[in-house]
Amino acid sequence: MATAAASPFPGTFKLPELKLPTFDLEAVFALQKANLAAVQEAQNVLLDAAQAIVKLQHGYASELVAEVEAALKAKEPKKPETVVADAKAVAEKAVAAAKQGVELGVAAQRRVAELVTQRVQANLAELKRLAA
């Protein structure tokens, strides 16, 4: 008669206890919500800058068109000195408008960079806190 095979594990067998890391789902959602808020603010900053630049360019273009129309309606030709002075004034206005546009764009980029830096730092701090 065959006897029951002896158990390779004498006594009771206990599995090692698994320790799963804790996971704070609400903290992760709050972190993502803050990230999305920062993205939305960055989009608003860039959109506002783009609108300001377009308004600036529109104002410059409208002024230029008005000056061209006035020049075309003039009955007698302008003196060369006047034409040169007008051309210089138009060039200076174009440079000023371009400079303002660049300044608006750079200011918007700086603000977006600040927002991104703040969010990255906050994310790293929160991830460190969650990992602890």
The per-residue pLDDT for range 18-49, each reduced to its tens digit, is 776 677 788 889 989 999 999 999 999 999 99
Phi, psi of 78 (to 5 degrees): -80, 155
Those residues with Cβ within 8 angstroms of residue 112's Cβ, 6 or more apart along the chain or in another chain? 42, 45, 46
SS3 75: coil
Spans of all domains in the chain? 26-131
The per-residue pLDDT for range 95-122, each reduced to its tens digit, is 999 999 999 999 999 999 999 999 999 9
